A = this chain, B = another copy of it.
Amino acid sequence: MSKLDQIDKKILNRLQEDSRTTTKELSSEVGISTTPVYERVKRLEKDGYIKKYVALVDKDKVERELTVFCQVSLKSHLKKNIQQFQEHMLGLPEVMECYHMAGNFDYLIKVMVRNMKEYQKFVVEKLTTTDVIDHVQSLFVMGEVKQETKFPLK
């Protein structure tokens, strides 16, 4: 599990932009032949640099046009409660991201739903059905400026 050289980084940059890039294309872009490119990609997968390959779907097309961040505070910080809350989050498909935060509140979660009505339903019927939550504050997204999955390596 050695460090990445410039060629590895170029490969990772390319695959982060388009994972369908073929070994052949990669090879001409990074300037080495297909065999070592193939071996490098396999190594990057094996060593865990590449976690997985996914298709990114347009949120508007699948009716998830409303994004809301929720700042959640728990009633207590007992390990039991933290665990219960985290498991609750893992089970909610509307929750795309969930972070344990330092500061004035405990968790920041990113929720993506169809519209405001669905969001209300989510908060009332799903989010707050676990009794470990004390307080929720919703921050509404009006517009998306940037949304990246790529870490540019250099």
Contacts and interface: CB of A to CB of B under 8 A. Distances in A.
A123 interface: no
A147 B16 contact: no
Tell me the number of copies of this protein: 2
User: Which of A89, A95, A151 has the most B CB atoms < 10 Å from its CB?
Assistant: A151
Given A54-B56, A148-B96, A102 B49 contact: no
A20 B51 CA distance: 13
A49 B61 contact: yes
Interface in A40-73: 47-59, 61-62, 64, 67, 69
Interface of A: 4, 12, 15-20, 47-59, 61-62, 64, 67, 69, 86, 89-90, 93, 95-103, 107-108, 112, 139-153
